[in-house]
Amino acid sequence: MYPRPIKICASLTCADFLHLERDIQALEAAGVDYMHIDVMDGTFVPNYCLSPATMRTARRATDLPMDVHLMIEKPERYLETFIEAGADVLVVHQEATTHLQRTLAKIRDLGCRAGVALNPATSLHTLDYVLEDIDLLLIMTVNPGFTGQQLVPSMLRKISDARAMFASRGLSVDIMVDGNVSFQNAPKMALAGANWLVGGTSSVFMRGLTIAEGTAKLRRIATAAQGTTA
């Protein structure tokens, strides 16, 4: 069941929007697996970010799949909107939706893969009764809202606890990490059991590297770290 294949999800927020088409083509050439779309509503997190309009624009430049990270209150109001805009995986925050199981089931009913995200302070135990309803667990490794933050160190333990939790239930679920997935942190995250890595300013879009260099390095070191789990 583990290790599961490494997937690189490039955080489109970190692209150069003056040259979006160029950056998207570079992501495609670099072989990233997903474009990670951060959506923020200024309420659930103290910032604003991408939107369905951004997704439609990006889709004109590429067929790369999109995983959509909804950092918005009551995401159940907008599931159809984001799926129609092209989401292949739709991730809602546990903290943002009162009827989490209903929201996750609806995402699947709409033909999309369902993910759930946890803020650093939210326990894995809050998902105990919805584990069968999720295709992906997103462990926020920083408090969501901003790029360029530092890893919350206890999140490494949360990743290994999540892996153990899924294994004990006989479930095969992808674990995504988002926030400061740097060249220093990614090997520890992969070793702990994360396999979907959000590449932002700490890797894929790191200053001083090309997108191709950042992506290749992230994939190489994470895959190597996974090998040490065998």
Among 87, 178, 211, 218, binds Zn ion (CB under 5 A): 178
109 is catalytic: no
Among Zn ion, ligand DX5, none, partner that 97 touches (CB below 5 to 8 angstroms by kind): none
d(CA 104, CA 101): 5
Q: Interacting stretch for ligand DX5, rule CB under 6 A, among 23-31, 91-99, 152-160, 200-208?
A: 200-208
- Scan for tokens 């991730």, then name that residue: 91
Closest distance to ligand DX5 from the beta carbon of 218 (Å): 10
Hey, how many other C-beta atoms are within 10 angstroms of the C-beta on 134?
24
Those residues whose C-beta lies under 8 Å from the C-beta of residue 176, and which sit 6 or more positions away, are: 9, 67, 91, 115, 136, 137, 138, 139, 194, 195, 196, 197, 198
Q: How far apart are the first and last CA of the chain?
A: 11
Residue type, 209: L
Active site residue 33: no
Q: Which of 30, 64, 69, 79 binds Zn ion (CB under 5 A)?
A: 69
Contacts (CB under 6 A) with ligand DX5, residues 170-199: 178-181, 198
Q: Is 68 in the site for ligand DX5 (CB under 6 A)?
A: no
Q: Is 153 in the site for ligand DX5 (CB under 6 A)?
A: no
Structure tokens at 87: 């989401």
| Site residues, ligand DX5 (CB under 6 A) | 11, 13-14, 38, 144-145, 147-149, 178-181, 198, 200-202
